[in-house]
């Protein structure tokens, strides 16, 4: 029974650590961040199983962690506020062509991450980006500036699409 309790605590601990570490686009995770996650997981598993390295104990730990995952997923569906605590909310990184430096700094997202997301959408530069949003899963969504029939940004959007003369939109 102690193993199951430690598995529950370990799961909650890891969930908290992942929330504190913050969101980064999954494709943007550095090798260091991957090592950090595995390292913390390895340390946590040692405290969960302790000296009992039997197959029964291992099955109990795996089943408990699996059930905790199912429980958390169910709680997120049943109580949206719980989902916001566990997964966070989408965050606006760029609005009307203007960077939101505080959010970018807090989430450790660089302008190059947003530029990569824009290029993935086929946009040539950041003057074409109206909004960039860091989603709950760490992906960056890009919403294009509405265009006129000529294909360029509409006149209303050009004035707010970045610094004058700076086609890249760097802050």
Query: Per-residue pLDDT tens for 15-71?
Result: 888 777 766 655 556 677 777 777 877 777 777 777 777 888 888 888 998 999 999
Please check whether residue 130 is in contact with residue 97, taking contact to mean a CB–CB distance below 8 angstroms. Answer: yes
This model's pTM is above 0.85: no
What is the Cα–Cα distance from 125 to 16, expressed in whole angstroms?
A: 37
The mean pLDDT of the chain is 79
- Residues 3/50, Cβ–Cβ less than 8 Å: yes
Phi (first) and psi of residue 36, to 5 degrees: -60, -45
Domain positions in the chain are 2-87, 91-158
Tokens 């699409």, residue?
161
Lowest mean pLDDT among 18-22, 110-114, 163-167: 163-167
pLDDT at position 30, please?
67
| Phi-psi label, residue 135: left if phi above 0, alpha if psi -120 to 50, beta otherwise | beta
DSSP class per residue in 10-56: HHHHHHHHHHHH----GGG--HHHHHHHHHHHHHHHHHHHTT---HH
Q: By percentage, how much of the chain surpasses pLDDT 70? A: 80
How many residues does this entry show for the chain?
Answer: 171
Q: Residue 61: name the closest of 10, 17, 13 by CA.
A: 10
| Residue 157: per-residue pLDDT | 43
- Joined tokens for residue 16: 């908290």
pLDDT of residue 101: 92
Between 94 and 35, where is the model more confident?
94
pLDDT for 27 equals 54
Q: Regarding predicted confidence, which is higher, 117 or 27?
A: 117
Q: Which CATH class is domain 91-158?
A: alpha beta
- Model confidence at 156, pLDDT cuts 50, 70, 90, reads very low
Residue 161 pLDDT more than 50? no
CA atoms within 13 A on the CB side of 54: 5
Which secondary-structure segment (H or E) carries 91? Answer: strand 91-95
Using only the alpha carbons of the chain, give its radius of gyration: 21
Distance, CA of 53 to CA of 88 (rounded, Å): 36
> In the beta sheet, which residues pair with residue 98?
95
């Amino acid at each position: 029974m102690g193993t199951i309790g430690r598995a529950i605590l370990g799961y909650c601990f890891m969930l908290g650590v992942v929330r504190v570490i913050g969101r980064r686009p999954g494709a943007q995770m550095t090798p260091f961040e991957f090592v950090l996650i595995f390292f913390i997981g390895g340390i946590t598993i040692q405290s969960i199983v302790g000296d009992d390295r039997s197959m029964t104990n291992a099955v109990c730990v795996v089943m408990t962690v699996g059930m905790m995952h199912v429980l958390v997923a169910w709680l997120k569906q049943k109580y949206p506020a719980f989902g916001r605590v566990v997964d966070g909310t989408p965050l606006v990184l760029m609005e009307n062509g203007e960077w939101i430096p505080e959010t970018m700094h807090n989430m450790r997202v660089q302008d190059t991450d947003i530029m990569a997301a824009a290029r993935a959408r086929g946009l040539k530069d950041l003057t074409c980006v109206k909004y960039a949003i860091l989603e709950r899963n760490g992906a960056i969504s890009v919403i294009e500036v509405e265009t006129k029939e000529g294909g360029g940004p509409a006149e209303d959007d050009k004035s707010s699409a970045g610094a004058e003369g700076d086609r890249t939109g760097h802050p």
